[in-house]
Structure 1
Amino acid sequence: MKKLTLEILAKMAGVGVATVDRVLNERGGVSPETARKVLEAARKANLRRVLPEAYQRPWQIELLLSGNNAFFFKKLARDFSEVADAVGYQRVCLHRTLIPESQPERLARHLIDCIESRDGIIVFAHDYGPVRDALALCQARGVPVVTIATDLPDAGRLCHVGIDQYQAGRTAGLLMSRATPQAGEAIVVSGRFDYRAHRQRVAGFRDALQQRAPQLRLREVLAGQDQRQTIRKLLDQSLGRAGHIVGLYNTGLGNTEISDVLMQHQLSGRCTYITHELYSVTRRLLQQDILSFTLDQNAAQHAQLAIGILLRHLDTGWQPDVYEAGKVAFNLITAENLA
């Protein structure tokens, strides 16, 4: 193709020559609307070459994640972007919005706003009335919703993608019972009690400890509320009371603060310490033999399953099993299998 032809097509489409080249040679990096303009211009000009297949509108997917600063959500956002890029801009257009977990009304309004402009929604949300009402409206208007990480059992959703949080808690309890043969007490540091995932983790841990660890007594569950200074204060107060602490399970964030307090009370490396997610802090604590185990939620599999399930449903009408289709296998990480 002559350079002049590229210039003519670029002028007809109202874009640059490089953009025309990317579209005609399918190199990517061009928005669907721009690609459509270039192909229409090429056909009008009777360009004598095989053109890319006729453009079809990509599915418009809204991704709603927590706006807090937790590692899991940062990793999840990156993994969703990578999966969408691999699928291709001609098949899916991913729109990402971050909303603080403390603003369920804002999340509900955004869900309703998405009904007219999105083909499907992937959302991390907690069980609040306005959110349930918004999801019910999405369902009534035919917009499929996939929940991720924490489920909303009474809400209208196509499928849930995530680990079994109760099973994760039970696994932590089993690990605690096997790694801590001596008699003593264990402490749980919990995230917000109004969050279903944390309640399930605590319940699973408590049940497993009662059934498998007669030598261990659960002293208390500290309501850290995902506030780092609250976690530090409550744990310091608990460890300052008389007793023999041999284990600690953290269901959420605050591992830096927890490890600091354990060190202050000379328990660092001397009690079984279990938490969630593999990131820079937990990796360092594992390497230093301060942290015994971490249960990683496998963010990449969340992204792969959520987008895959939603696209299959939109393409074919397939109805997934609410839990089985989106079940994610969490990873057990120790100091010996760090990647």
Structure 2
Amino acid sequence: MHYDEKASSEMTSRRPTLKDLARAAGVGVATVDRVLNERPNVREATIECVLAAAERIGYPTGKLEAIKLDAARPIVQFGFVLHKPAQEFYRNFAHALKTAVAERMDIRGRCDVRFAASQAPSDFANELTAIAKTADVLATSAINHPILSETIRALQHSGKPVFSLLNDAASGVQQSYVGLDNVKVGRIAGWMIATQMREVGKVAIFIGGNRWHGHILRETGLRSYLRDFAPQLELLDAIVNLETRQVTYEATLDLLERHSDLRGIYVAGGGMEGAIAALREMRPPGKVALVVNELTNESRDALTDRYVSLVIATPLDQLCRDLVASMIELARGGPSETSGQHYLTPQLFAPESL
């Protein structure tokens, strides 16, 4: 007698067990347990085999129908490459990405979030190339550089759509930019500083580096606003802080010592913690208008203490939901020939709004 017929005959008078299901599926008991409890890293063929065997022998599981429905959902592999894992904002960003993928009920999302070892173009390129081996669609907060443009172009041509996050890393090459309108962000910073500080004086701006397209656009927005509406405020040459706390701290101390008429500071990227620490040491609250990006524990405390005048924040949850929806569409249909932009409305936090 064939095994399946014999097994079915033996089980007509008793309830099939997990071992019976494992034998019928030709796998181990541990594998069956992983399938029935929907644990990760089980091959699709194995899941289908176990489900078919469960139906065949009448294995009693209330989860069977749910697992069958789940198995019918397409798998989408997401790959994300961020930077600065030591910064609270990027840790929050990674969490929001994973949550947005997990919330999608129309797919089975697999989320791989990695951090570039540094801001060097080669580190971003290497991570993107590595993650593309398993990902269907990718997104990154990479800098602007020819190496990144070529890497992203190659991925696009290979059928792996790439989205730029926060910084328009490869305009016209990547699939789409998702983030804030950075010129508008810079103008908002200028409005806040000019509104709070009406005296003649100077304004400083920190940018992460000259390869951050988003930071350069924020500097442009700040300069244009001051030129239009606050000509009494002189914008000093941008200071590159590499998005680091210590460089920003030391440079802010130097600014305060050299410019007694310093009226405002805008930290266009990371490193705001250094500016906050320096102002706490050298000036009373509100003496210098400080505008920073992203609401974190430290920027929230500085708002409360009025050392920060305004936080311009990215709506992370909305960004991640919109991004994941677009990535799913592209993963199913392949890269589009047209590069796009998706702007979100910034969130503004003042001391009185907390």
Deviations 1:185-220 (A, max 9, x none): 222233222211211111111111111112322244
Q: Which residue of 2 aligns with 1:8?
A: 20
Aligned residue type for 2:46: K
Q: 1:242 to 1:309 in 2, by over 3 A?
A: closer
Residue 336 of structure 1 aligns with which residue?
352
Deviation readout 1:294-325 (Å, 9 max, x if unpaired): 0011222221122110102223569597445x
Max radius of gyration: which structure? Answer: 2
Unaligned runs of 5+ in 1: 23-28
Aligned to 2:266, which of 238, 241, 249? 249
C-alpha change, 1:313 and 1:35, in structure 2 (3 Å) is closer
| 1:5 aligned partner, one-letter code | T
SS in 1 for 2:344: coil
Which secondary structure state, in structure 1, belongs to the residue aligned with residue 89 of structure 2? helix
Q: Does the CA contact (< 8 Å) of 1:185 and 1:243 recur in 2?
A: no
Instruction: Name the structure 1 match of 2:310.
Output: 293
Structure 2 match to 1:302: 319
User: Are 1:43 and 2:60 counterparts?
Assistant: no
One-letter amino acid of the structure 1 residue matched with residue 142 of structure 2: A
The aligned residue for residue 8 of structure 2 is none
Quote the Cα distance in structure 2 between the aligned partners of 1:67 and 1:277. 14
Pairwise CA distance, 1:44:
3.3
Q: Aligned partners of 2:288, 2:205: CA distance in 1, in Å?
A: 13
In structure 2, the gaps of 5 or more residues are 1-10
Aligned to 2:205: 188
Q: Is the CA contact (8 Å cut-off) linking 2:81 and 2:127 kept in structure 1?
A: no
Take 1:289 and 1:240, find their aligned partners in 2: how far apart are those partners? Answer: 21
Q: Which residue of 2 aligns with 1:222?
A: 239
1:152 to 159, 169, 189: 169
1:50-84: CA deviation from partner (whole Å, max 9, x where unpaired) = 74235455112211111442222111100011111
Equivalent position SS for 1:208: helix
Q: Distance in 2 between matches of 1:106 and 1:186?
A: 34
Question: 1:176 is matched with which residue?
Answer: 193
RMSD: 2.7
Aligned equivalent of 1:25: none
Whether the 8 Å contact between 2:250 and 2:274 is mirrored in structure 1 is no
Residue 258 to residue 56, structure 1, CA distance change in 2 (3 Å)? closer
TM-score (norm 1): 0.87
State TM-score, norm by structure 2.
0.83
Paired residue for 2:128, among 80, 86, 111? 111
Aligned pair in 2 of structure 1 residues 188, 67: CA closer, same or farther (>3 Å)? closer
Alignment: residue pair count: 331
